[in-house]
Amino acid sequence: MPKWLDDAVFYEIYPQTFYDSNADGIGDIQGIIEKLDYIRELGCNALWINPCFDSPFKDAGYDVRDYKKAAPRYGGNEDLFRLFDEAHRRNMRVLLDLVPGHTSEEHQWFVESKKIAPCDEFKNRYIWTDSWYFWGIEGLKFIAGEAERDGCYIVNFFKSQPALNYGFRDCREKWQLPPEHPDCIATREALKDIMRFWLKGDKGRGCDGFRVDMADSLVKFDDKQKSATGAIWRNIREMLDGEFPEAAMVSEWGSPPQSLKAGFHMDFLLDHSSSGYRSLVRDYENDGGNNSYFKMDGNGGINLFLDQYIPWYEATKNDGFISLISGNHDTPRLSHGLSPREMSLYFAMIFTMPGVPFLYYGDEIGMRYLYQLPTKEGGYGRTGSRTPMQWASPKEPSAGGNMGFSAAGPEQLYLPLDTGADAPNVEVQEKDTSSLLNTVKKLIKLRRNEEDLCAKPNLEILHPAAGGASNAADSGGRSFIYRRGAFIMGINPGANTAQVPLSVHGIPTLVYSIGACGFENGCCKLEPQSFGVWKC
Ligand code: NOJ
């Protein structure tokens, strides 16, 4: 396990819209370099950059045409190497986005594999049936009619993303290969080759690991328990432990018992419909309302989350870290339906829980989800969460046009800005000590200054009791109190005061709070929408 993860706080960057250094309307790698000090000041010491490789951008770069080449619109490989150097100089780390499950249909491997007689090396690099006349398998998407080769291929996501071939768990047709087939092993080895290309090796110049896209998607039918996919990742982890022991891997999987046992160091909780994570901030109603735990008038208690989280945490605490995210490029923005106060309480929780937290660019200022933007690069409903970072106040053009994002004409921007007069921005929030931005800074600082509040698995739930019934003295069962080492944290996102009987040894000393809270008469008292951290 890379030691540096112990106090890591990640910042996710969507490179298209973070900072444009050359006035062409789109963000770039040099732009990220220029903003490294901002990210460090925020308290984040690690980055995850969404795919920045050569691509036709039919899915914002998750359709890679060349894994070893930075997309020219972001700069060149030299810019990426410089980014690694500049980050390392500041004691920061950089994860690139690895897309192992599919490529672009324009990748040379796929171009070759489409031919009537593909060369041996790439004949089975993708999953091809042996005739165009094939009507599919439940849960898999087949495309016919696109190639000279007589067959259909499977796509992993969009039509433009043919699935790489790591084999089938149950082989029922001649064209289905088992994961141990040499051609499937060759796909896995090709992935290792890409990883070795970018990772920090002897030359000391390279990335510090990968965020892995759809990491659970490798072996096809019927790998429901993901044992065959897990075996591939365990093999890759062995390679990393041997050659790059400092490299970190975080999976887009959303099931820590599977992913962390498969060798990932971290796994994101995702907002899938069945996830407890969703109940925290993204429990949306059909009419656009938000019913989440962190909504002041939301429904239910923290157990909707804990009932799933705690068994996962207990089962995996010796294997790796669960990552709580503020959001990402696929989710509606955190601010969607949440007030700044509600967001700050959520940040208070994710930055004081175990595991390794991730902050999506712009969430620290509460950037808004822009409705009804025309889709961009396969974004569809996700497009509204990918708009340009709002660095400067629209009223103070001194900091540069387009709210400090780009010196290009507004019509040239990759996506439009939030043009509201009250659009959140860094410049204004930096000057306001009570802003969301400054709250996020204080919370991250608090975390990183105290070993007990960093990643390690020292969580003890003090309230509510497991499966406990809600309680009138507890703001309708809405408060959540937990201990980590010498610290006790209490959160009450609800509209009523909570008074939770709690016996603690010694006198708790308040070290940080949002709103009013305290210990009195054997109770932890949390006023509406408050959060406190006590040393005790
Ligand atoms: C998950 C990524 O986060 C998403 O943006 C992408 O569209 C799909 N995987 C396909 O790669």
pLDDT of residue 387: 98
Reading the block at residue 166, the tokens are 């790591």
Residue 527, φ and ψ in degrees, nearest 5: -70, 165
Q: Domains of the chain (ranges plus CATH)?
A: 3-100+185-448 (3.20.20.80), 102-165 (3.90.400.10), 458-535 (2.60.40.1180)
321 Cβ closer than 6 Å to some ligand 1 atom: no
How confident is the chain (536 residues) per 10-residue block, as mean pLDDT?
98 98 98 98 98 98 98 98 97 98 98 98 98 93 97 98 98 97 98 96 86 98 95 98 97 98 98 92 88 92 96 98 98 96 98 99 98 96 98 75 94 95 95 98 98 98 75 80 98 96 93 97 96 97
Angle of CA points 322, 83, 188, to nearest 5°: 55
Q: Report d(CA 306, CA 84) in Å as an integer.
A: 37
Best residue among 17, 58, 154, 213 to mutate for probing ligand 1's pocket (most ligand atoms within 8 Å of CB) is 213
Nearest to 338 by CA among 369, 304, 303: 369
Q: What is the CA radius of gyration of the chain?
A: 24
97 Cβ closer than 6 Å to some ligand 1 atom: no
Kindly give the interhelix angle for 340-350 and 436-449, rounded to the nearest 10 degrees.
10
Neighbours of 91 (CB within 10 A): 10
Nearest to 53 by CA among 159, 190, 194, 214: 194
Beta strand pairing call for 10-13 and 46-49: parallel
Reading the block at residue 36, the tokens are 């490294």
213 Cβ closer than 6 Å to some ligand 1 atom: yes
391 Cβ closer than 6 Å to some ligand 1 atom: no
pLDDT of residue 399: 60
pLDDT of residue 360: 99
Q: Report d(CA 354, CA 298) in Å as an integer.
A: 25
Q: Report d(CA 165, CA 102) in Å as an integer.
A: 9
Q: Report d(CA 64, CA 57) in Å as an integer.
A: 8
pLDDT of residue 153: 98
pLDDT of residue 469: 53
76 contacts 70 by C-beta, under 8 angstroms: yes
pLDDT of residue 398: 57
Q: Residue 249, by phi and psi: left (phi above 0), alpha (psi -120 to 50) or beta?
A: beta
Nearest to 283 by CA among 308, 268, 300, 267: 300
E strands of 305-452, at which residues? Answer: 321-323, 358-360
